[in-house]
Amino acid sequence: MTARNSVTPRAAGEVNHYDIDTDVVIVGYGAAGAAAAFEAAYTGAKVLVLERSGGPGGASAMSGGEIYLGGGTPVQVACGFEDTPEEMAAFLKAAMGAGADAAKIEEYSAGSVEHFHWLVDRGVPFKPTMWDAPTWVPPTDDGLMWLGENSWPFTESAKPAPRGHRPTANDFGGKLLMECLSGAAESAGATALFDVYVTTLIVSGDNAVVGVVARQYGKELTIRARRGVVLTTGGFVDNDAMLAAHAPELLGHTKVSAGTDDGSGIRMAQALGAGVRHMSSGQVGMSLIPGLAARGMVVNARGQRFMNEDTYPGRIGQAALYRQNMGGSWAGADTAMWVIVDEAGFEDVPEPQRWGVQPTHVAETAAELEQLTGLPTGSLADTLRRYNEFATAGADLDLHKSARWLRPLTSPLAAIDVKAGIRPPAEAGDRRGTGASVFTLGGLHTDLDGHVLNLDNTRIPGLFAAGRATNGLHGIGYISGTSLGDGTFFGRRAGTSAARTE
């Protein structure tokens, strides 16, 4: 007797009745699921999307909507930037870090302009104008932004071009993106059932996936998938047991999700022998305003800078969580971090773009700020002296922040404690926490066509996956837009592959 939510596959021979019979079942209705559903239905298959929530959306609908696209998109061209798939791939290989999937990155970069047009054809609007300053999401409806491409060390490995494409919205664009993609999937003929939680895969005697077991309002449903099952269930940041087992550094921080990322799709496939990759990797957003950080210094609990402040802010977060302030013991891991700015830098970022962030301490000298913040005596004063020397000379010899953002910091100085939190316009309430907001990047191992691979690197018949249920492009690194980007790009592949399965 297996437990109620067991992921142990059910043998098809034990299923004597199917409640629903279809060609392709898609589990999870976020961006990856919607892209898969569209393509599978467009190919002519009968498609059913099963979603545990009351409607489509997932994390995708809550997101900034930033999609990583390049290689010469019309938006890039209109904004005056030259780009090629090769430069895009070179950047991504560096930015996705150790373990990045080079073959997927090359495929993704080569197909990026086509994918841009596919999104536009699905009704996703992109305004061909540029937001040219560090930010999480442009506060305007500009469609293009930098995501670290023009910052060190990436300036040394690829010709810089901005590739952050955000659907036309002020601030967060994920809701609009999901409305377009789910509308397209429905127009193509895909249907959906909501409040349905898929628990288990159904497998035939030759280990092919032929359906799923689900629960709806306490009742079990068995659903037959004649051609294939696509898992687009998102990551596992909401499953503390999985975090403890695979990515313990991500425990205890704010979870960047819709609350439904319980890793169920990953576990169902693992129970069938699926391989996983980079389960310890995570995106780490620190509660800092990138525009303020770029105009000042970011220091750790020892008062030292550790990352060029003009880079993609998620890199600052990963460095803070994984490499700083360890206190000599993993158990003592902390995210203490301060943004140091002067009055001119603070005022230079318009108030609405500061997302409610205020200086936590203000002082005339670095020594006073050390006392107020508890930073070691002399540490901040030394860091400031060195920073101001670099700024005066116009070259940051330590961390290579671009000369554009280098300016000597003058009194009075402010320190912003990242643990005080930030509040994007779309969110309400007190955000004080660890300062870090995280989601997982590890997941199922898939091939370029969206097939889930087993531990022998061979395809599991009838099983496909995309989005954050998979590892996608990522090694240990992350850049905004690669999640919605690889989810929709390889979601399309997975949907097409499933629909074409005989």
66 in contact with ligand FAD (CB under 6 A): yes
276 in contact with ligand FAD (CB under 6 A): no
65 in contact with ligand FAD (CB under 6 A): yes
Q: Which of 23, 24, 25, 52 binds ligand FAD (CB under 6 A)?
A: 52
291 in contact with ligand FAD (CB under 6 A): no
Phi, psi of 320 (to 5 degrees): -65, -45
Residue 85 or 443 having the CB closest to ligand FAD: 443
How far is it, in rounded angstroms, from Cα 293 to Cα 355? 14
- For ligand FAD, which stretch binds (CB under 6 A), given 26-34, 97-105, 179-187, 200-208? 26-34
Q: Which of 7, 27, 105, 147 binds ligand FAD (CB under 6 A)?
A: 27
Which residue type is seen at 400?
A: H
318 in contact with ligand FAD (CB under 6 A): no
478 in contact with ligand FAD (CB under 6 A): no
How far is it, in rounded angstroms, from Cα 417 to Cα 287? 9
Q: What's the closest the beta carbon of residue 378 comes to ligand FAD, in angstroms?
A: 39
Residue 340 or 484 having the CB closest to ligand FAD: 484
- For ligand FAD, which stretch binds (CB under 6 A), given 47-55, 75-83, 182-190, 400-408? 47-55
The interface with ligand FAD within residues 427-466 (CB under 6 A) comprises: 439
Q: Which of 288, 375, 484, 498 binds ligand FAD (CB under 6 A)?
A: 484
Cα 377 to Cα 110, 184, 215: the distances in Å are: 52, 59, 59
| Residue 139 CB-density burial (10 A; 0-12 exposed, 13-18 middle, 19+ buried) | middle
DSSP bridge pairs for 440:
282
The interface with ligand FAD within residues 215-234 (CB under 6 A) comprises: 232-234
Q: What's the closest the beta carbon of residue 41 comes to ligand FAD, in angstroms?
A: 17
Residue 169 or 369 having the CB closest to ligand FAD: 169
Residue 265 or 317 having the CB closest to ligand FAD: 265
The interface with ligand FAD within residues 240-269 (CB under 6 A) comprises: 256-258, 260, 264-265
Q: What's the closest the beta carbon of residue 425 comes to ligand FAD, in angstroms?
A: 12
Residue 415 or 441 having the CB closest to ligand FAD: 441
Closest to 172 measured CA to CA, from 70, 67, 286, 249: 67
29 in contact with ligand FAD (CB under 6 A): yes
The interface with ligand FAD within residues 176-205 (CB under 6 A) comprises: 197-198
Closest to 263 measured CA to CA, from 43, 399, 444, 498: 444
31 in contact with ligand FAD (CB under 6 A): yes
DSSP conformation class of 305: B
| Residue 186 CB-density burial (10 A; 0-12 exposed, 13-18 middle, 19+ buried) | middle
- For ligand FAD, which stretch binds (CB under 6 A), given 5-13, 59-67, 69-77, 244-252? 59-67
Cα 442 to Cα 167, 274, 320, 374, 483: the distances in Å are: 26, 13, 20, 36, 11
Closest to 231 measured CA to CA, from 192, 266, 274: 266
Cα 349 to Cα 24, 344, 345, 354, 409: the distances in Å are: 49, 9, 7, 7, 15
Q: What's the closest the beta carbon of residue 67 comes to ligand FAD, in angstroms?
A: 6
Which residue type is seen at 251?
A: L
| Residue 326 CB-density burial (10 A; 0-12 exposed, 13-18 middle, 19+ buried) | middle
Q: Which of 32, 185, 284, 399 binds ligand FAD (CB under 6 A)?
A: 32
Closest to 446 measured CA to CA, from 495, 480, 484, 481: 495
Q: What's the closest the beta carbon of residue 415 comes to ligand FAD, in angstroms?
A: 26
Q: Which of 25, 38, 41, 64 binds ligand FAD (CB under 6 A)?
A: 64
Cβ-proximal residues to 368 (8 Å cutoff; 6+ apart), any chain: none
Handedness of CA 110, 114, 120, 123 (dihedral sign): negative
Q: Which of 468, 474, 492, 493 binds ligand FAD (CB under 6 A)?
A: 468
Count of residues in contact with ligand FAD, rule CB under 6 A: 42
C-alpha torsion 161→164→165→168, nearest 10: -120
148 in contact with ligand FAD (CB under 6 A): no
Q: What's the closest the beta carbon of residue 9 comes to ligand FAD, in angstroms?
A: 14
Cβ-proximal residues to 74 (8 Å cutoff; 6+ apart), any chain: 116, 128
Residue nearest to ligand FAD (CB): 30
- Sheet order of strands, 361-363 included: 297-300, 337-342, 413-417, 361-363
User: What tokens does 286 get?
Assistant: 């620190």
62 in contact with ligand FAD (CB under 6 A): yes
DSSP 331-373: GG----EEEEEEHHHHHHS-GGGGTT---SEEESSHHHHHHHH
287 in contact with ligand FAD (CB under 6 A): no
Residue 45 or 201 having the CB closest to ligand FAD: 201
421 in contact with ligand FAD (CB under 6 A): no
Residues that bind ligand FAD (CB under 6 A): 27-33, 50-53, 57-60, 62-66, 197-198, 232-234, 256-258, 260, 264-265, 439, 467-469, 480-485, 487
